[in-house]
Structure 1
Amino acid sequence: MKKTTFSMHKLIRVVSLFILTFSLSLHAQDAAKAKKLLDEVSGKIKSYNNISIDFKYSLGNAKKNLNQECKGNVVLQGNKYVLNFMGVTRIFDGKKVYNIVPEDEEVTISNFDDKKDDGLTPSKMLTFFNSGYKYAWDIVQNVKGRKIQLIKLTPTDSKDNTKEILIGIDSQTKHIYNLLQIDKDGTRTTFTINSFKTNQPLSKNHFTFTESKYPNYYVNKLD
C-alpha cells in the first residue's frame, strides 16, 4: 500500500495544482494576456455545477528507474469529490475523507485536514498557491489540431523541490488540457485530460459513503 498511497498523494497534489491554477494572479512577462486567459478559464470553471474528468497520469525518473503510468477519473462538485485512481476510491463529502481499497477490503475514514497538501476543497484551491510562484506566458503547442497555450509556474522558494510547472490551456475551449510538473531531482509528473464533461446528472448520494455497500470490509476510523 505504500506505493499506492504515495501515488495517490502525488496525483491529488497534481489534480489540486491543475484546478488551483484557475484562480492565480499573474506577475510576469505578458502578464496581462496570461491573466486574461486564466480569468476566462476560471470564469468557466466557476459556472459549472459539477465537473467530470477522465485523465491519464504518469510519473517518471530515469535515474531512479521510476516509470509509472495509469488512468483515473474524478468528479467534483463544490468542495466535494469522488476520485478513482490505482484501484482506490476516495470520497470527500465535505467533512470526512473515505479511502476504499477493494484489494484489501478495507475502508479508512478520517476527518478532513485543510493543512494537508492533498486537500481538494475550493478554499485550498483558491489560496494554497496564491503566493510563492512566478508566472510566465510560454509557447503554444499544436496537439492534434488543438492550440494549447502553455503557462509556466516557477517557485520563488529556492527550497521547493519543484523546479517548474507547465499548465496547458486549450485556447478554444478555455479548459485545462494538461499539467507537467518537473522536480529538481528530475522526476516528471504529467496529468493529461482525456475527457472533460460538465453539469452531468448526479444522484443526491453521489458524494455520500454508504457503509452497507461494503459488508465484508474492515472499516478503520482514524478520528
Structure 2
Amino acid sequence: MKVTNQDFIKNLGSKILLITALFLIGFSGQAQDKKAKELLDQVAAKVKSYDNITIDFKYSLNNSKENINQDSKGNVIMKGNQYVLNFMGVTKIFDGKKTYTIVPEDEEVTVSTVNEKDDNAITPSKMLTFFNTGYKYNMDILQNVKGRKIQYIKLVSTNPKDQRKEVLLGIDVQTKHIYNLIEVGKKGTKTTLTVNSFKTNQPLSKNQFTFAGSKYPNYYINKLD
C-alpha cells in the first residue's frame, strides 16, 4: 500500500474542513449525548468570536498491518469560508468559490470551481450539513496531556458505507479549543491531526485568500472547468 503526497493532501483537506465545520456550527441535539453537545457548542461559540484562525499542525498516518508510519507538518489560515493550506510543499487556496492547488515541484497550478450541489465536493458549508446529520456523538475519555486536560468526544458515522470506524475529537477543557482529531478506519488505518499552535485574529493581507497568477509566470495553469 503506497501513500502519495496527493493522498495526504486530499485526506488532510477533508480533515481541515471538518475542523472548520466544528469551529463554526452549533450542533443538533437529536439522539446525542447532552454533555457532548454542550461542550461542542462551547467550542463553536468560542471560535465564532474570532475574525480568523491560524493553526500549525502535525499530521500522522499509521497502519501497523501495512507497515505505514508517516508524519508531516503544515499550517492553515482560515477566515469564514476561505482558507490557505500549506502542506508537504503544496499550497492550497480556497477563495470561497475556486480552489487553487499550487505544486512547485511540478510547476503547476490546478484550478477548480467548487459546486456545492456536487455530493462529492468538500466545502465548509457542505461539511456543516453533513456533520450535523451524519454522526452520532458522545463523551469519551478525559486525558491529561502535558498538564492540559483533553476531553475526547467520539463520533460515529450513521452511514454504513463510511470507511471510518470512529472519529475522536480532543478538546482542551480550559481553552475550549480543538487539540486533535483522530480518525480510525475500519481497515486499521489511523490518522491524527494535532494542533501545535493556535493563534487568532492575526493581521492578514487583504489579498490573503486571492490567487496571484503573476507569482507563477512559468507554471502550467490546469483549469479543470
Under TM normalisation by the shorter chain, which class is it? over 0.9
Aligned with 1:172 (options 174, 186, 196): 174
Task: Spell out the pairing of 1:6-25 with structure 2 (5 A cutoff).
Answer: 6-22=7-23, 23=25, 24-25=27-28
Structure 2 runs not aligned, ≥5 long: none
Task: Spell out the pairing of 1:73-112 with structure 2 (5 A cutoff).
Answer: 73-112=75-114
How many residues align? The count is 220
Deviates more, 1:14-23 or 1:72-81: 14-23
Q: CA deviation at 1:118?
A: 6.1
TM-score by length of 1: 0.93
Report what 2:187 is aligned to: 185
Structure 1 runs not aligned, ≥5 long: none
Q: What is the distance in 2 between the residues matched to 1:27 and 1:89?
A: 38
Q: What is the distance in 2 between the residues matched to 1:45 and 1:117?
A: 27
Q: What is the distance in 2 between the residues matched to 1:177 and 1:51?
A: 14
Residue 146 (str. 1) matches residue 148 (str. 2): yes
Residue 119 (str. 1) matches residue 122 (str. 2): yes
The residue matched to 1:128 in structure 2 has which SS? helix
CA separation of 1:45/1:118 partners in 2, compared to 1, >3 Å: closer, same or farther? farther
Report what 2:64 is aligned to: 62
Deviates more, 1:74-83 or 1:129-138: 129-138
Report what 2:139 is aligned to: 137
Q: What is the distance in 2 between the residues matched to 1:63 and 1:222?
A: 36
The residue matched to 1:11 in structure 2 has which SS? helix
Q: CA deviation at 1:68?
A: 1.4
Report what 2:4 is aligned to: 3
Output one character per residue of 1:52-92: Cα deviation in whole Å (capped at 9) or x when no partner: 00000011111122221100100011111100011100001
Equivalent pair of 1:18/1:167 in contact (CA under 8 Å): no
- Aligned-residue CA RMSD (Å): 1.7
TM-score by length of 2: 0.92
1:103 partner letter: E
Q: CA deviation at 1:164?
A: 0.5
Equivalent pair of 1:53/1:74 in contact (CA under 8 Å): yes
1:19 partner letter: T
1:12 partner letter: G
